[in-house]
Amino acid sequence: MSSSLKRCICLASCDLEEAHVTCEHDELRDGRAVNIVISLRAEEDGSSSQALEMSFGRLLRRASSKASDLLTFNAGSAGSRSVQDGEIIFSKNNVCVHPAEPVPGLPEHHPGYLCVHLEKDETLGSTLILTWVPNSRIQRQDEEALRYITPESSPVRRNPRRRRARLAQPRPPPAHEEDEDEEEAPESGLQQQEEGDEGSCELSADEVSRDSTLGSDSDTFSSPFCLSPVSEALAESTSSVFLDSESREMCDESMTHSASSASSLDSHALSESSQSQGMRWEEQQKVLAVEQLCGVFRVDLGHMRSLRLFFSDEACTSGQLVIASRESQYKILHFHHAGLDKLAEVFQQWKCCRETQLKDQVADEKSCMQFSIRRPTLPSTETHPEERLYRRLDVSSWLRHLNHNGQVEEEYKLRKAIFFGGIDPSIRGEVWPFLLHYYSYDSTSEEREAWRLQKRTEYQEIQQRRLSMSPEEHSEFWRKVQFTVDKDVVRTDRSNMFFRGENNPNVEIMRRILLNYAVYNPEMGYCQGMSDLVAPLLTEIQDESDTFWCFVGLMENTIFISSPRDEDMERQLMYLRELLRLMLPRFHQHLMRLGEDGLQLLFCHRWVLLCFKREFPDTEALRMWEACWAHYQTDYFHLFLCVAIIVLYGDDVTEQQLETDQMLLHFSNLSMHMNGELVLRKARSLLYQFRLLPRIPCSLHDLCKLCGPGMWDSRYIPAVECSGEHPDSQSCPYGGMATPQPPPSPSHPNEGKRGSKKRDIFNFRKQP
Amino acid sequence: MAGGSVSECKEYLFKVLVIGELGVGKTSIIKRYVHQLFSQHYRATIGVDFALKVLNWDSKTLVRLQLWDIAGQERFGNMTRVYYKEAVGAFVVFDVTRSSTFEAVSKWKHDLDSKVKLANGNPIPSVLLANKCDQKKDGSNNASIMDNFCKEAGFLGWFETSAKDDINVDEAARFLVEHILLNDKGVPYEESNGDRIKLHQEAMPAESKSGCC
């Protein structure tokens, strides 16, 4: 943007080196947010930059006035003074995020505003929320981004109504017309409140079982893959004085290792998919990279595994902060302009943070600090920790995901919201086309309109091809496709209002879409079951051409497609068996006892083929579809849904040792009698449990491949353990190590750590 | 269970397949037979469906029929082998209003015989169902031609059925079960599994195919 803004941020960053913002009153905090907005607007209006500096000045005055309070928030033991929810205890401008790999056309440095604030936490007493908002978002007057740096928790939690009332008061008129953002604050406040309640229930139950064990999820870098971002961060800081040649060598080694593994994975991925999918994959990767750099990063540090600070200067003020999640993902924040030492003090003060010593560190050198997060109890894995943080995506929250050009601001965040909360039926028709890759997330509203017109013409051309077949072609088409389509469309979803009644024109539209699809993709043609998949799309999207292209996207991008090939289904079943082996060993043993027939998992073929459409009423089944299409943390969420059904409804099978056919009967009798919401929740918690596993069998390596790292710098890549079946190659293509140990059971997350210790290359010297 | 002392009652569990081209009415026949229902709009079967019919065959025999409703458009070649496994009888269905479905009968029968056999190596008893006979135009299917076809193709016999008007469905099932029981006859009573005799006990040369009709 403009130089004046940069100057302003620069100014702020200079001052903020010393500033630790503490706001006791929400008005102040709000005032601050508004100030920034005003100042930016003033600047856009062409007013002097004076206003900018003034507003930042006000902000800084407030910040420094309370700096002395900083050290008291822990005060040795909990409760010396009540925690002020929402207090900002650290903030710093121009903290950078760097791309993990250079992205063409993107700069290396992505500066942003970092802020740490306190929030009440049921188990920890208080927790720290760290938020990084890219400057680009602040510059764009992205109100949502600004809201992130204004903690809203405490007053909202205590009194949501008051907040709503206050927000309704007049505010400076926005420069652009913004979506009805007023609703956001009270809404999220309520959600947090709900979540808090939920959390407390869960955890108290958990406490009983774990009793007094201090569940420090102490940090082990168990996988060579996990090292790469950190070692990169290290290698990058070439000016660092602390890296001796030996450890640097080791870093390099680990980097090459991870790089080569990564490239072999990529080539594997490419060889597996068709050319067009390969292209899509690359595009997607770029989008994901941009996302990771330009998206808001926000985590509850109380849920992290470890925090590490690597100093790059003698004074130990600049360097990198590396945040590691319990799911072994990493984020690296670069402090080029000091401030890291102050953050270290904050961590030292926080009672949940325990500084851990590395054995080989020499006492007189301070180069790295490591904190692990200790919790009185580990959070329960029975419920995904982010469960109930999200509400159903409705019109107003959907609009908030779009900027004024109609582009989706943060794809990852949108997908996550959909994964947890689903989409309100009234806007499914609008949002599904994004999930189904008909619209790209960064397209503007105008581009989408143009795209629709273009695709409509294309659709008409396909239809024309069908209608102008030669008699021979047509008779073959009739035999292979049309006959079956004609049979099926009249018996698909006829109880749905949209298709009800004789001579319903929508049935004819569905028929045309399916016929045209078979022309468009003759290799696939028509498979029974496609009508079940297209019917809900048409019901929600309504437009014929749009539905067609969404259906194309559905068939290309989702993995539960009605593929006509044995091997696709076989692969799904293989993954499912492996998941069961890992997560429900008792059931897997039962299958093993039944032998090959049992392992065929006949009872879930239809689950996979139609993505549960026949197992649950539409309202619930479509929620499952959306959750699968969101590709959140896995590309195979439908398999987690399968496991969830078996976990919840499969006890009889193992208890009564049901035979293969009885098992089929058992589950087919359950269709339309299961609780879809419960299954969804269970599946999300299973995914969470899966992601906590420090090691997974190499057979499940691809389960989290396409979904991207989200806001993290590292993909999710746990240690891979070779399960030893690679007929085509000598060694495990995933670099898995053969180990005699049984795979860790998810119910004992700590168990898996045994023996997974690898040589720790972070043998840095450390301060005394 | 009417009459007969329970201890002497024999209980059988038979797995019976229902196969044929798509849309010939396999699901309808099963729904008619098991639930006495008919609808024009049963959804296409995906993979396999399943129904259980319990027959009080006579005072001393209880028969549980497991009817496996197999999708007409079977996309997974490998899977059918699992579907067919351990079946002891089959209905092959065609639609009298569509000659192409009759032409496909041989293909289905061949597929069946290649994938499942009785313990003695013989093909499993199978019955041909000419469904939708309520819609039949004139006497297009000549009975003697059909008899010959059955003999050549290795069907025990054939029935004109209508799931819609409930014609011959029970009769066809009864006919098939009789033959399945014949195959089972003389099998020594094997206690082991309580009162349930497992599917198709080993051995015992089957009766020569009774070419009825």
A611: closest chain B residue by CA: B46
| Per-residue tokens: A727 | 């007929």
* Unique residue bearing structure tokens 């027939």: A597
CB contact under 8 Å between B50 and A610, yes or no, is no
How far apart CA A63 and CA B109 sit, in angstroms, is 84
Residue A338 zone, left/alpha/beta (φ > 0; ψ -120 to 50; rest):
left
How far apart CA A558 and CA A283 sit, in angstroms, is 17
| Neighbour count for residue B138 (Cβ, 10 Å) | 5
Residue B155 φ/ψ, nearest 5 degrees = -85, 150
B52: closest chain A residue by CA: A665
Our CA angle for A282, A283, A286, nearest 5°, is 90
| Structure letter (DSSP) for residue B189 | P
| Structure letter (DSSP) for residue B207 | P
Contact A343, A309 (CB under 8 A): yes
How far apart CA A264 and CA A121 sit, in angstroms, is 43
| Structure letter (DSSP) for residue A482 | I
How far apart CA A182 and CA A184 sit, in angstroms, is 6
Helix spans in A483-603 (H): 483-489, 505-520, 530-541, 544-557, 566-583, 585-594, 596-599
CB contact under 8 Å between B49 and A562, yes or no, is no
Give the per-residue pLDDT at A565.
Answer: 65
Give the per-residue pLDDT at A22.
Answer: 33
B75: closest chain A residue by CA: A564
Collapsing DSSP states into helix, strand and coil, what is residue A353? strand
CB contact under 8 Å between B22 and A528, yes or no, is yes
Contact A137, A320 (CB under 8 A): no
| Residue A78 confidence (pLDDT) above 80 | no
| Per-residue tokens: A541 | 């999207």
Q: How far is B212 from chain A (nearest CA, A)?
A: 32
The pLDDT tens digits for A504-562 are 999 999 999 999 999 999 988 898 889 999 999 999 999 999 999 999 999 886 554 55
The pLDDT tens digits for A624-665 are 999 999 999 898 999 999 999 999 999 999 999 998 888 988
Q: Please tell me the pTM assigned to this model.
A: 0.72
Chain B positions in Cβ-Cβ contact with residue A668 (cut-off 8 Å)? 49-50
| Residue A428 confidence (pLDDT) above 70 | yes
- Helix (H) or strand (E) holding A701, with range, is none
Q: How far is A30 from chain B (nearest CA, A)?
A: 57
| Structure letter (DSSP) for residue A350 | -
The pLDDT tens digits for A323-368 are 988 877 888 999 999 999 999 999 988 888 888 876 555 555 678 8
Give the per-residue pLDDT at A536.
Answer: 97
Chain A positions in Cβ-Cβ contact with residue B47 (cut-off 8 Å)? 602, 605-606, 609
Chain A positions in Cβ-Cβ contact with residue B43 (cut-off 8 Å)? 491-492, 532, 614
Farthest CA pair distance, chain B: 54
Collapsing DSSP states into helix, strand and coil, what is residue A525? coil
| Per-residue tokens: A181 | 């953002």
Stretch A417-430: mean pLDDT: 96
Confidence of residue A385 (pLDDT cuts 50, 70, 90): confident
Domain B10-184 homologous superfamily, CATH: P-loop containing nucleotide triphosphate hydrolases (3.40.50.300)
The pLDDT tens digits for B163-204 are 999 999 999 999 999 999 988 764 544 433 444 444 444 333
What are the domain boundaries of chain B?
10-184
